[in-house]
Amino acid sequence: MLRVGHRPGRDPRLTTHVALVARAFGARRLYLHPPDPAVVESLRGVRERWGGAFEVEGTPSWGEVLRAARGPVVHLTMYGLPLGRVLPRLRGAGELLVIVGGAKVPGRLYGAATYNVSVGSQPHSEVAALAVLLAELLGLPDAREFPGARQRIVPRARGKRVVRAGARRT
């Protein structure tokens, strides 16, 4: 994942939500442009408590992240081709670099991406677009395991139940 157009100090909450969705829905890593140590730190705390290997890394150059991509680059944008049309080409394409923008997206990104993909050709949110793409590609995150978690949620019809690692199942 690559998040461009982040505004440190202005939208840490939205970018943190992008990172949380990326992690929960099965992405491996998020590059953040420009870098923001507050978001990196917040996700490190999530990883310590809830496990998994998801990492956030600040990058001063989104171009470098694109050049290092080992597979197709999927840019989520309301102006792109409908997801349903592109999905068959993404499934089985191996490692993907998925890009979401912020308030303003650099025009060069549209040309640099392998696929510009829309989730409904209407403006909405990078968080929603990302969740839909990852759920379509990797399936619903219901059964995903996060090794090394200090705590985990026991799903319940009502109320909240969280157990610590090592606690006996009841």
Tell me which residues touch ligand SAM (CB under 6 A). Answer: 76-78, 100-102, 105, 118-120, 122-126, 129
By C-beta, is 56 or 113 nearer to ligand SAM? 113
In angstroms, give the least distance from the CB of 53 to ligand SAM: 24
In angstroms, give the least distance from the CB of 86 to ligand SAM: 11
Tell me the residue number closest to ligand SAM, measured at CB. 101
Return the HEC string of the chain: CEECCCCCCCCHHHHHHHHHHHHHCCCCEEEECCCCHHHHHHHHHHHHHHCCCCEEEECCCHHHHHHCCCCCEEEEEEEEEEHHHHHHHHCCCCCCEEEECCCCCCCHHHHHCCEEEECCCCCCCHHHHHHHHHHHHHCCHHHCCCCCCCEEECCCCCCCCEEECCCCCC
In angstroms, give the least distance from the CB of 14 to ligand SAM: 9
By C-beta, is 77 or 114 nearer to ligand SAM? 77
In angstroms, give the least distance from the CB of 115 to ligand SAM: 11
